Amino acid sequence: MRLETLAIHAGGEADPGTGAVSPPIHLATTFKHGPAGERIAGYEYQREGDPTNDRLRQAVAALEGGAAALTFASGMAAIGALLESLPNGARIAIPDDCYTGLRVLAAEFLPERGIVVATVDMADLEAVRKACADGIDLVWAETPSNPRMKVCDIAALATIAHEAGGMLVCDNTFASPVLQRPLALGADAVMHSTTKYFGGHSDVLGGALAFARNDALFERVAHRLHIAGANMSPFSAWLTLRGCRSLPARMALHCANARRVAEFLAGRDEIERVNYPGLASHPGHAIAAKQMRDFGGMLSIEVRGGREAALAMAGRLKIFTNATSLGGCESLIEHRASVEGDKPVSPQNLLRVSVGLEHADDLIADLEQALQG
Ligand code: PLP
């Protein structure tokens, strides 16, 4: 089945009790069982699984081409559960450009358990090989990356990680499974902040992991989730499942709009640099073209004139909202360094843009008036 069809039907069978075509939300925290705890319909207690989350998990696994999936209260909860399943003293490599939460977690929490973290430019395969030379437990990829839009070669990283005795996990939040399917390229697990494109409407927090195999890794992380309890609520699962249905259709428009916006910005003197993998000038363009179906709805720009010029431009926009997050219907823009806490790493002139589903001409007109000042 093709992705567009899976997105509509995975986890979507009619409710057996009522025939309802759209799935019910089961809010029950507890499920009737037999006197010795026999699970009558497969469920016992919401933290260990519920029918609404199961539907979403089926959909995520199907869309990513995985054997199984788990859903979490947030993307960070998914990252946390996966990393917590590593043994004390594990060795991992993370990208030099990645979501702030992972960077902070790797700097502050993992060392408490003796986990050794190498920060590597994942686009530089030699650097990755070097980081893995003495063995590695986990290589973490994020492509395109947040916020510099760096692209790394998922298949090559999978080979390097496996040869060094480790696994490859890929944060696929920016691309979504519509544009990129890391498991088919050799990754062992895929992570999503479903808060973004899966949810699609900036109104539901969540995270997911899809696993290549129903193996010990899956079991370890599932056990973490069941015991530590960073579950997605059934209502959030229901909203996210609803988002899945339109994901391919939305991604097509996000991509088309982002390409127009990127091309417009690339032609402007006020902009020093446009980071969008769909532009032929992007250093990762060829790899993105090889492993992605299209180039996505995210981009970042580096504004000529530094921090002040970037803030002034962001402040003049009328259709783009100054807000964090991404993947919703509405276009957002954000001065990344301002939201990265005490130790920002993004260039001070960088604005991250989530291109929404408005008409591209309106978006470009808004950018034009903001650039003119
Ligand atoms: N990964 C990426 C690429 C993200 O952009 C984000 C959030 O912005 C996360 C992970 C964390 O997800 P959440 O905010 O749902 O915890």
pLDDT attached to residue 343: 86
Nearest to 146 by CA among 311, 339, 285, 366: 339
pLDDT for the residue 206: 98
pLDDT the model gives residue 342 = 84
pTM: 0.98
Task: Give the CA dihedral 250, 244, 123, 270, nearest 10 degrees.
Answer: 30
Question: 104 CB under 6 A from ligand 1?
Answer: no
Pocket probe mutation, ligand 1, options 170, 193, 298, max atoms within 8 Å of Cβ: 193
User: Which residue has its alpha carbon closest to ligand 1 atom 2?
Assistant: 99
Integer Cα distance of 131 and 361 in angstroms:
45
How close is the Cα of 130 to the center of ligand 1, in Å? Answer: 28
What is the model's pLDDT at position 277?
98
Contact 193 CB / ligand 1 (< 6 Å): yes
CB 148 within 8 A of CB 175: no
| Ligand 1 atom closest to the CA of 79, numbered from 1 | 10
Answer for the pair 8, 243: CB distance below 8 angstroms, yes or no. Answer: no
Q: For residues 139 and 161, give the distance between their C-alpha atoms in angstroms, rounded to a whole number.
A: 6
**What distance in Å separates the CA atoms of residue 371 and residue 313, rounded to the nearest whole number?**
6
Do 279 and 262 contact (CB within 8 A), yes or no? yes
> How far out from the chain centre does Cα 214 lie?
21
Question: Given the CA of residue 207, which atom of ligand 1 is nearest to it?
Answer: 15
Give me the pLDDT at residue 78, please: 98
Write phi, then psi, for 274 (nearest 5 degrees): -115, 120
Contact indicator for 23, 15 with CB cutoff of 8 Å: yes
Residues serving a catalytic function are: 47, 99, 171, 196
Q: Which of 173, 180, 239 to mutate to test the pocket of ligand 1 (most atoms within 8 A of CB)?
A: 173
Judge contact between 90 and 115, C-beta under 8 A.
yes
Q: Is 97 in the pocket of ligand 1 (CB under 6 A)?
A: no
**Cβ atoms 61, 210 nearer than 8 A:** yes
Residue 74 Cβ inside 6 Å of ligand 1? The answer reads: yes
- pLDDT, residue 373, reads 87
Find the 142 Cα to ligand 1 centroid distance in Å. Answer: 11
Closest CA to 75 of 182, 215, 173: 173
CA of 75 to the centre of ligand 1 (A): 5
The stretches in the chain having pLDDT less than 50 are none
Expressed in angstroms and rounded, the spacing between residue 353 Cα and the centre of ligand 1 is: 15
**8-state DSSP, 213:** S
